[in-house]
Homo-oligomer: A and B are copies of this chain.
C-alpha cells in the first residue's frame, strides 16, 4: 500500500521531511534565469531547478510535495513542468504528493481523481495525465465530492490528504467555529476523513490522510487522538512559524503518523547559506531532519 511505502521511506531515511517544490520563478538563482523571457522558458528553468534539487535530496528524504499553483501561473507550460517534475521525482524513488486542494461535485471530482490518481479513458485505452501518489483535497462539498477520490485510492493504490485544520493565520475564521453539537467545523471535516479511512496498511495507517497545520499544536494533538490510523500531511514548519516542538503531538509514540512539509526554507536556503542552491537545499533538509529527530527520537515501526 502506498501509505506503507511512504512510511518505509520515512523509516529508511529517518526523516519525516517533505520537500515542497513550490517553485516560483522568483526563487531561481541568476544562472537559471539567463534566457528566461516567457512562460515557456520560465517553466523549463523551474523544471531544471526542481531536477537538481531532487538529485541532491532524493537519498535523504522520503517525499516531495509539488504545489501546482506555482505551475498553473505558467499556463500549460507550467503543467508540463509539473508533470515532468512528478515523473522525475518518482524515477528517483520519491513519493510524490500533488498539492492541488481539488474539490467539486461528484462527476467533476471524478475528472480530478482521474487526472492525479487514476487514468483517463481515451478511445478505449487508459492514459495517464499527471503521475502522482497522493493528492490534497478539500471536502467542503461533502461526501459526494470525496467518494471519487477515495475510490481511486482504493482501486489504484493511491492516497489523499483532505484539508482539516490548515496552517494559515485565518484558518480559524471558519474552521474553529463551534457547532450546536459541540464540534468545531474542522472536527466535522476530521470525522468525514475518519468515515472514509477504509483498510489500514501494515503500519496501522490508511490511504486517506488529513492536512493538519504545524502552527496549531493543541488542535493537532487533539486531532492525532481523534484520527487514529489517519496519516497527517503537516504544513507550516519554517517560514510559516511552526517548529519541531510544536509538531510533537502530530506523531504517534513510534515517531510515525505524519510528514512535515517545508518549501521556502529548503528552496531558498541558498540565499541564507550561500553556495549552490542544490547543496544548500540538502543542508537545509539535513538540518530539518536533525531538528525533527531531536523531538521524535528514532522513528520505527
Map CB proximity to B onto A179-211 as digits: 1 under 8 Å, 0 otherwise: 111000100110010000000000000000000
Q: Does A129 have its Cβ within 8 Å of any Cβ on chain B?
A: yes
**Could you say which of A42, A115, A175 has the most chain B C-beta atoms within 10 Å of its C-beta?**
A115
- Count A-side interface residues using an 8 Å CB cutoff: 76
Could you say which residues of chain B place their CB within 8 Å of the CB of A123? 33, 36-37, 42
This chain's copy number in the assembly: 2
**A145–B181 alpha-carbon span in the complex (Å):** 27
The reply to whether A170 and B185 form a contact with Cβ atoms under 8 Å apart is: no
Provided the pairs A37-B122, A83-B75, A111-B70 are in contact, do residues A171 and B142 lie with their beta carbons within 8 angstroms? Answer: yes
Q: Please give the residue numbers on chain A whose beta carbons come within 8 Å of chain B beta carbons, in ascending order.
A: 22, 24-26, 33, 36-39, 42, 67, 69-70, 72-80, 82-83, 99, 101-106, 108-109, 111-112, 114-116, 120-123, 125, 127, 129-130, 138-145, 163, 166-175, 177-181, 185, 188-189, 192, 235, 240
The reply to whether B129 and A73 form a contact with Cβ atoms under 8 Å apart is: yes
Give the distance to chain B from A106, nearest Cβ to Cβ, in Å: 6
The reply to whether B175 and A140 form a contact with Cβ atoms under 8 Å apart is: yes
Could you say which residues of chain B place their CB within 8 Å of the CB of A175? 140-142
